[in-house]
Structure 1
Amino acid sequence: MSESYLVHVAVEAPQHSALSGPLTYRATHPWPAGSVVQVPLGRRVVCGIVWGAAPEAAAEEGAGLALRDVHSGLAGLPPLSDAWRALVQFAAGYYQRGLGEVALAALPPELRKLDDKQLALRLRRAQSMSLVPQGGEPELPPLTPEQQAALDGVDHGGVSLLHGSTGSGKTEVYLRLVARTLAAGRQALVLVPEINLTPQLEERFSARFPGRRIVSLHSGLTPAQRLKHWLAAHLGWADIVLGTRMAVLTPLPRLGLVVVDEEHDPSYKSQEGARYSARDLAVYRGKLEQAAVVLGSATPSLESWYHAQRGRYRRLAMPTRIGGAALPTVRLIDMNHVPREVARTSALSPALLAALGSRLERGEQALVLLNRRGYAPVLHCPDCGWKSGCAHCSAWRVFHRIDRTLRCHHCGACERVPRACPDCGNLDIQPLGRGTERLEEQLAAALPGARIARIDADTTRHKGSLEAQLSSVHAGEVDVLVGTQMLAKGHDFRRVTLVAALNPDAALFSSDFRAGERLFALLMQAAGRAGREAAHSAGSEMLVQTWHPAHPLYQALRAHDYAAFAARTLEEREMAGLPPYAHLALVRAEARTQEAAQAWLLAASEQAERLPEKGGVTLYPPVPSAIARVADVERAQMLVECESRPALQRFLAQWVPGLHALRAEHKGVLRWAVDVDPLAI
């Protein structure tokens, strides 16, 4: 009789199954922890990761149990490391998700389909990946005293917050840190918030590190590319990994440095599945693997700033722009002084049009930001009041004039614009409000002869389209660039001397307590696109059209004073008992009716009251979500608050496992989830 072993395997089980930990299987081979195997789960054979082997005594005790067998495994793939499994274990526990869900989501989907023979072929392809071509020794730019101080100040075993103004040369500090890491024989992981920032980063790293393997990991790769790059990272062949938030869970056997660029960006927080924060996991990973962690931003998140103020992170300041370039002058255009008829018919104030005209005369570029795509947020009928609401969501369908469609940006529903009002038959239905399409049209009419380009999610759908449009901007083929917030992040527009922000006021009075922080970061980052070339910086400007010019946020923006904004906002947060002075979780429920969703949340709240110890945890009453219906599904939420993070974690660990049983009593609930450290409420 062949010898058998018991192994614990993490598999991706459905959330409603309440299987959060690894399952036990029988194996004829002593698979080491971290091995990727194929195991039966229900009627399917699924991919799993061996999480540990049972001791011999336990194997003997399990001899009579009806355990299922491991089918096969990837013997040719080195096991995933103890440190990687510890990171996944932490993420699953902290964010209240199944261990297998987090672990398997970190693997390339293609890996799950391979046998050993197919894996061997993929390994050969990954090993043969081209190195960055050898060239002459790149000439390094001289470091400013601030850059040198930041480089010297990075905490090799801890977390450093690199607070550098836009254009201060943070990327050069990252490059020097990576060089130092590679010289020590270790790997570097560099994270950026969005895919559209990876091409220019790859270009800079490839130019700086000839003879090194550089791979990228993000959702824009094909499945085959993602597998090849992941294998190169896991096997230690790749020296540098560049990626978005998903890359934080990449196995790296020699990790020595993690850089999180634009660490404040909300894109680092996943809004689906495990809803993890890549920035926070990067901090934890650095501690696990004794790697230096650098969080960089001109506008740090208030949580990171708070930690730096209290000594948990080392703060490194770089307030001066490279080459002595001046920060742009911020000018507020008071829309209360613009004639009502002008403000009603155009998004562009006379002062803004005059500023754009003067830039055109000098041959300089301008960037105009409006954080709303489409032609208009809604169509309406002036006779009966009809508006283009979505039949499936609590939202408006946006009017896109180019293809004459009404599109819901939440559920994707799309239909042709009606010829007349569906309610009263009026032929004169009109756009209400403005989007980037309409702004582009108004700019073309107001600035005849100007070369105007629009970059937003609609114009960059096709592969390579964003790179092509950015190249034309850099080549000087565009005079005025129109776009959404995607243009405010990290792009190095050397010829832009004027940035204008239209209609930013809505965030000042939002019910979301983080809205002001996000607006300030967006405007500061946008301002940083202007005057990056020292020769053009003296006259660079940012214009903000606002109805509330006296607001403290705009006054801090005028002074480029992030510290003043942070101090005031943290004081407000402390008075209100909000993060970082308290810790939150949001329980979300989705059902066919709002009543069913809220009933499930009420039952969950009642269950929490029966727990032996709530540890200072407060549960607020259930309420509809900000957008209560999406794709015919009603959504509700319940806020959980506690002053102590460990106490909140202990409470969630007690409470969440019992919530699975509530599904049997509340048949109308389709899905539920816990969002720890939510970004929006």
Structure 2
Amino acid sequence: MPDIPCPPAPRVLGIAMPSPLRRLFDYRPCQTAPAAGWQPGLRVRVSFGRRQVVGVVLECREHSTLPLADLKPIEACLDDAPLPADWLWLCRFTARYYQHPLGGTLHQALPTLLRQGRPLQGRTRERWRVTSQGLDAAPERLARAPRQAALLGMLRQHPHGLVSQAVLAQSFTRDQLRALADKGLVERSEEPLAAPPLTEPGRLLAEPALPLNHEQAATLAALHEGLEAFHPCLLHGVTGSGKTEVYLQLIEAVVARGRQALVLVPEIGLTPQTLARFRRRFRMPVVALHSGLTDHERLDAWTAAASGRAPIVIGTRSAVFTPLACPGVIIVDEEHDGSFKQQEGLRYHARDLAVARAHHHHIPLVLGSATPSLESLQRALAGDYRHLRLTQRASRHPPARLELIDLRGRRRQGGLIPPVLEAIGETLAAGHQVLVFINRRGFAPTLACHACGWLAECDHCDARMTLHRQPPLLACHHCDRRRPLPDACPECGSADLRPLGSGTERTEETLAERFPETPVYRIDRDSTRRRDALEQLLGEVRRGAPCLLVGTQMLAKGHHLPHVTLVVVVNADAGLYASDFRALEHSAQLLEQVAGRAGRAAHRGRVLVQTMHADDPNLRLLAHQGYDALAEQLLEERRAAALPPFRFLALLRLESPRDEAVQALAGAAARALRDHLGEHRLDVDCLGPVPAPMERRQNRYHLQVMLTAEKRSRLHAAVAWLATWLEAEPAARRVRWSLDIDPQTLA
């Protein structure tokens, strides 16, 4: 639907609503029209069923399929001007590509306060400046008001003025400010709270750029060549090779041209450190968008980006929907990371939307990673992306290779065998730090009865409950069900209940007992729930004193830990034999990323990888030749098996608390789809239905139907037909279903 300017007084408005229905809803305009007339992009409040909801005008027409007299009028228009055009285009594209209702897409892409009908503006603050009259005022004019005189003197020392909070922090009052303003000695102005105007425009950098080595300089020169067009590049650099410095200097060139940069990072935990580095480098406003912000902070940043006041925007997955007044470059750091894929509701992939958005705006796109996804790597090898390589670390030390440690038949303490504990002790004695990586939260993966073999399993999921010690309980990490620790085995009554395996808590306890003089910092989702907890822990680590870090994949991504020289992977076997065809790729990426935390500064790094399968050929290839060699082999296997990136996938996911209901609908949908594909001779394969890898989760049964095709257009045609069939099928109203385009996991 093109964005066509509306006629002055349309009789019908087509409005997108936050509804699962894939259509617009017709309303009559209210009598009070917005100043610029009715046009697509305006938010309106309407009566929808028994609720008052906020929708977005997308069409202005003269006719409706319903009699005009039967249409409800809208309650109110909320905006004087429409939402940004680039934002509307992206939402339309997203809804079309991911086969999601347009109203739901618009609703999810809006900040929460805008969904609630708040004005399209961020918060402001007061700034007080001395007027020319105040600069020339004689001291005796305020002789009988010494506090006002002191306040005027302080403001004279700040030519650009002070915000109200800074004035009040010096024990002055608003009454004193108003008194000076009434005398004409100071004046008040309003400025945005986020990204206020610069007091000294013109200077871009707050600190000088770092010198680049030969590879970095060549890469930056290649990126500069494409600043005026769509120029997708895969920046494939080993961990610690200085990719961020290349980003910073590229952004400097973009902002110098009066344009904006959007930088996407995979995890909220990486946002503060990335934000701090960018703010140290640039004098201009840098705003953040992520789930850790309050609703008001998010709207402030959103409006600052949309207005162009914020030249640099940094955010996690949802920040890809941030409107930009003058886009100049999009950078996706750690582009391989699975957190860029939304797994619920609108199942978009932020990296892929970044590609589409950069193409739409004709601006360069940089995808950075030490372990690129096979999709991006194949596009670079095919010539669709420019493949830029950084092979040297800034520390001059080569990346540490993985040393495989065979666990078979060896006694373990907290998951660690004696030779590994000795290596940890030697590293600490040398004054360095150690990172112990174990991708399991809690004390142990589960609790077992030594007498009868009973295992603590979740009542609501096909999963075992994790044993926690802080506080003591059993928890399911899939449905968050919790229950107290049993006093005895519920099957045989034995009191001999033992933890099975190791989690972060158990490894932390073992290391604290073995090295009592050394601080142990545990970093996982449980220990970092409090706001700023992660930054505080990492701040302690960066002091450089010998310490032990025990953590999950939160520590594996992007953190610069210069004093870590030894990385220990407690168990590398999780992804070797999983049913998901992407499991080995994701496991190898995680191992390489966590290994990259070692030896990033003055001292060479070492990586010890414990495994029960030290002779596995894939693991040995990764250890001896690195990720690139394994990725090349995996690409050949994917080509032979007709799997992504050589074929396109979509999943129909179905779930219901009634097994028979989800089985019946899945079977009917698959049969109907196969009939349709055969009738229209579409080259699309339909596989299934089959149970999901975890069939029962949260007391709901999960099934899947997979669609595969060699051409994306045929796959989308088949998925669109299937969505229409499901919407018309009465049984589909009793089963929750969703469509996942380009799924990143089958789980």
TM > 0.5: yes
8 Å CA contact 1:235–1:253 kept in 2: the answer is: yes
Match of 1:671 among 729, 732, 736: 736
1:30-49 correspondence to structure 2 within 5 Å: 30-49=37-56
- In 2, the alpha carbon distance for the partners of 1:22 and 1:273 equals 19
- In 1, the alpha carbon distance for the partners of 2:696 and 2:16 equals 34
**1:504 to partner: Cα distance:** 1.3
SS at match of 1:390: coil
Are the structure 2 counterparts of residues 125 and 477 from structure 1 closer, same or farther at C-alpha, using a change threshold of 3 Å? farther
Match of 1:222 in 2: 294
Letter in 2 for 1:186: R
Letter in 2 for 1:52: E
Residue 234 of structure 1 pairs with residue 234 of structure 2 = no
Match of 1:98 in 2: 101
8 Å CA contact 1:598–1:623 kept in 2: the answer is: no
Residue 634 of structure 1 pairs with residue 701 of structure 2 = yes
Match of 1:11 in 2: 17
SS at match of 2:28: strand
Match of 1:139 among 208, 232, 235: 208
Residue 297 of structure 1 pairs with residue 369 of structure 2 = yes
- In 2, the alpha carbon distance for the partners of 1:75 and 1:334 equals 65
Residue 556 of structure 1 pairs with residue 621 of structure 2 = yes
How many residue pairs get aligned? The number is: 661
Match of 1:282 in 2: 354
Are the structure 2 counterparts of residues 4 and 660 from structure 1 closer, same or farther at C-alpha, using a change threshold of 3 Å? closer
- In 2, the alpha carbon distance for the partners of 1:564 and 1:254 equals 40
Match of 2:641 in 1: 576
8 Å CA contact 2:26–2:64 kept in 1: the answer is: no
Match of 2:182 in 1: none
Match of 1:20 in 2: 22
- In 1, the alpha carbon distance for the partners of 2:738 and 2:454 equals 36
Percent identity of equivalent pairs: 43
Match of 1:362 among 404, 415, 430: 430
Residue 148 of structure 1 pairs with residue 148 of structure 2 = no
**1:644 to partner: Cα distance:** 1.4
SS at match of 1:457: coil
Are the structure 2 counterparts of residues 454 and 553 from structure 1 closer, same or farther at C-alpha, using a change threshold of 3 Å? same
8 Å CA contact 1:96–1:674 kept in 2: the answer is: yes
8 Å CA contact 1:159–1:314 kept in 2: the answer is: yes
Are the structure 2 counterparts of residues 567 and 119 from structure 1 closer, same or farther at C-alpha, using a change threshold of 3 Å? closer
Q: Normalising by structure 1, report the TM-score.
A: 0.93
- In 1, the alpha carbon distance for the partners of 2:712 and 2:351 equals 17
1:168-187 correspondence to structure 2 within 5 Å: 168-187=241-260
Match of 2:387 in 1: 315
8 Å CA contact 2:438–2:551 kept in 1: the answer is: yes
Greater CA drift, 502-511 or 491-500: 502-511
Are the structure 2 counterparts of residues 315 and 60 from structure 1 closer, same or farther at C-alpha, using a change threshold of 3 Å? closer
Are the structure 2 counterparts of residues 406 and 239 from structure 1 closer, same or farther at C-alpha, using a change threshold of 3 Å? same
- In 1, the alpha carbon distance for the partners of 2:199 and 2:84 equals 31
Match of 2:77 among 61, 73, 76: 73
Match of 2:566 in 1: 498
Name structure 2 gaps, 5 residues minimum.
1-7, 126-189
SS at match of 2:575: helix
8 Å CA contact 2:206–2:282 kept in 1: the answer is: no
Match of 1:273 among 341, 345, 365: 345
Letter in 1 for 2:741: V
Match of 1:428 among 496, 521, 529: 496
Residue 659 of structure 1 pairs with residue 732 of structure 2 = no
1:186-205 correspondence to structure 2 within 5 Å: 186-205=259-278
Letter in 1 for 2:58: W
SS at match of 1:263: coil
Q: Please list the CA deviations of residues 268-302 of structure 1 after superposition, one character each: whole Å capped at 9, or x if unmatched.
A: 00001111000000000000111211000000000
- In 2, the alpha carbon distance for the partners of 1:659 and 1:456 equals 41
8 Å CA contact 2:285–2:311 kept in 1: the answer is: yes
1:362-381 correspondence to structure 2 within 5 Å: 362-381=430-449
Q: Please list the CA deviations of residues 234-274 of structure 1 after superposition, one character each: whole Å capped at 9, or x if unmatched.
A: 12211111100000011112111100000000000000111
Residue 85 of structure 1 pairs with residue 59 of structure 2 = no
- In 1, the alpha carbon distance for the partners of 2:695 and 2:213 equals 51
SS at match of 1:453: strand
**1:63 to partner: Cα distance:** 7.0
**1:194 to partner: Cα distance:** 0.4
1:480-499 correspondence to structure 2 within 5 Å: 480-499=548-567
8 Å CA contact 1:258–1:292 kept in 2: the answer is: yes
- In 2, the alpha carbon distance for the partners of 1:599 and 1:37 equals 40
- In 2, the alpha carbon distance for the partners of 1:473 and 1:160 equals 34
**1:387 to partner: Cα distance:** 1.2
Structure having greater relative contact order (Cα 8 Å, sep ≥ 6): 1
Residue 51 of structure 1 pairs with residue 77 of structure 2 = no
SS at match of 2:688: coil
Match of 2:147 in 1: none
Match of 2:522 in 1: 454
Are the structure 2 counterparts of residues 566 and 357 from structure 1 closer, same or farther at C-alpha, using a change threshold of 3 Å? same
**1:410 to partner: Cα distance:** 1.1
**1:584 to partner: Cα distance:** 0.9
Greater CA drift, 638-647 or 78-87: 78-87
**1:622 to partner: Cα distance:** 1.3
8 Å CA contact 2:460–2:699 kept in 1: the answer is: yes
Q: Please list the CA deviations of residues 62-121 of structure 1 after superposition, one character each: whole Å capped at 9, or x if unmatched.
A: 774522222222334x422333222211111111100011111111111233455x8586
Greater CA drift, 437-446 or 571-580: 437-446
Residue 591 of structure 1 pairs with residue 660 of structure 2 = no
Query: RMSD over aligned Cα, in angstroms?
Result: 2.1
Q: Normalising by structure 2, report the TM-score.
A: 0.85
**1:448 to partner: Cα distance:** 3.3
Match of 2:130 in 1: none
Match of 1:622 in 2: 689
**1:196 to partner: Cα distance:** 0.2
- In 2, the alpha carbon distance for the partners of 1:296 and 1:160 equals 8
Greater CA drift, 390-399 or 272-281: 390-399
Letter in 1 for 2:716: Q
Q: Which structure has the bigger radius of gyration?
A: 2
Letter in 1 for 2:253: R
Match of 1:395 in 2: 463
- In 2, the alpha carbon distance for the partners of 1:585 and 1:357 equals 49
Are the structure 2 counterparts of residues 659 and 356 from structure 1 closer, same or farther at C-alpha, using a change threshold of 3 Å? same
Are the structure 2 counterparts of residues 427 and 128 from structure 1 closer, same or farther at C-alpha, using a change threshold of 3 Å? closer
SS at match of 1:92: helix
- In 2, the alpha carbon distance for the partners of 1:620 and 1:59 equals 43
Letter in 1 for 2:416: L
- In 1, the alpha carbon distance for the partners of 2:56 and 2:191 equals 24
8 Å CA contact 1:594–1:636 kept in 2: the answer is: no
**1:657 to partner: Cα distance:** 1.3
SS at match of 1:524: helix
8 Å CA contact 1:255–1:289 kept in 2: the answer is: yes
